Amino acid sequence: MRAPLTHIGAKRLREELERLKTVERPRVIEAIAEARAHGDLKENAEYHAAREQQGFIEGRIKELEFALSHAQIIDLGSIDAGSRIVFGARVVLAACDSDQEVRYQIVGDLEADIKHGMVSISSPLARALIGKHEGDTVSIQAPGGTREYDIVEVRYGE
């Protein structure tokens, strides 16, 4: 199954991949060469740190290349499921026990960022919301217990 990804998420991942290949990779290769010039590699902490960083960069490059080549990029502008929540939906939820409102967008796993209100399609929150409609009440398991929210608004588009 191909992992869903928004156009914006795919663009961000491509930009990160480009930065890793054109900026970070050459920088760490240069750092390795410089550390090698200092002599004995066994006790050369700079060399070992640069090699470790190179491993992280190469691993992330492979991860991004795989993810982008296996992603199903979904045009959110073409989705209009009405008031029903599906991938890409932007939702406004109101806590039933208070007047607090929260806003989330349901996105692919690699582009999820809870600080920016972007929740993964595979998260418990998104799984609880998928298929529900504006006006429904939903129960969500949270670390502090079950919380109930009213679905105030459902929108689509990037």
> What is the span of the domain harbouring residue 25?
3-74
Cβ proximity of 70 and 147 under 8 Å: no
Q: 47, 74, 101: which is the final residue of a domain?
A: 74
Mean local confidence (pLDDT), 94-115: 91
CATH code for the domain of 27: 1.10.287.180
Q: 74, 89, 113: which is the final residue of a domain?
A: 74
Please report where in the chains the tokens 């640069």 appear, as a residue: 50
Whether this prediction's pTM lies above 0.85 is answered by no
Answer yes or no: do 67 and 84 share one domain.
no
**Closest alpha carbon to 85 in 112, 119, 109, 53:** 119
Q: 42, 74, 106: which is the final residue of a domain?
A: 74
Higher pLDDT, 115 or 43: 115
Distance CA 27, CA 99 (A): 50
Q: At what angle do helices 25-36 and 45-69 cross, to 10 degrees?
A: 160
The neighbour count for residue 33, using CB atoms within 10 Å, is: 11
CATH code for the domain of 102: 3.10.50.30
Q: What is the DSSP letter of 81?
A: -
pLDDT in tens, 132-146: 999 999 998 878 888
Q: Which are the contacts of 100, defined by CB distance < 8 A and separation ≥ 6?
A: 94
Mean local confidence (pLDDT), 80-96: 89
Task: Tell me the percentage of the chain whose pLDDT exceeds 70.
Answer: 99
Cβ proximity of 134 and 83 under 8 Å: yes
